[in-house]
Amino acid sequence: MQARVIPCRDEAECQELGEFLADRIYEFNAKVTGYLDGMLLAGCVRSDTGEIIAGFNGHTWGGCCKLSYVWVHERYRGQGLGTLLLRTVEDEAVARGCDQVVVATHSFQAPGFYERMGYERKYVIEGRPKGHADIIYVKVLQGENGVQPFAAPGAN
């Protein structure tokens, strides 16, 4: 077989390929780890007219919640919506048996917000994008009575 890479030519094709690859990686990861509990996670706040003014998305898997996007419309920032979103994420993560939330933000986005919300800075990737940094935060969650909620597969 003569292998050659065929680049995607439009956004829809790239998105479709991305979803395909994410599914294949999840299948592999689930098989290797035994964690078959992967679930998407998302929620939003809408204005009185139905416009999305704040929201989040990510997923939970293997005792961890990974937030991909957290956003609040500029007009509504500073009104507690970000706090509401993160508290909702954390509550849902605990309900799903997660013991931590992981989120990345850029140095020009919301590092102070995550730190005020109890997230601990773990890693900084300088130059992503150029002139800025990508910062990875983690928050350890506590379940009922301060007990970590996650148990490994087969642990009872």
Phi, psi of 40 (to 5 degrees): -70, 155
**Residue 153 falls within a domain, yes or no?**
no
| 118-155 pLDDT tens trace | 999 999 999 999 999 999 999 999 865 454 444 444 44
**Residue 17 falls within a domain, yes or no?**
no
| 84-130 pLDDT tens trace | 999 999 999 999 999 999 999 999 999 999 999 999 999 999 999 99
Q: Which residue has the tokens 């929201």?
A: 55
**Residue 46 falls within a domain, yes or no?**
yes
**Residue 82 falls within a domain, yes or no?**
yes
**Residue 110 falls within a domain, yes or no?**
yes
CATH assignment of the domain containing 69: 3.40.630.30
- Looking at residue 131, the DSSP 8-state letter turns out to be T
Separation between Cα atoms, residue 129 and residue 32, nearest integer Å:
33
pTM of the model: 0.85
Structural domain harbouring 46: 37-146
**Residue 18 falls within a domain, yes or no?**
no
The domain total for the chain is 1
Separation between Cα atoms, residue 125 and residue 130, nearest integer Å:
10
**Residue 155 falls within a domain, yes or no?**
no
**Residue 3 falls within a domain, yes or no?**
no
| 57-68 pLDDT tens trace | 999 999 999 999
Look at residue 19 and tell me whether its pLDDT is greater than 80. Answer: yes
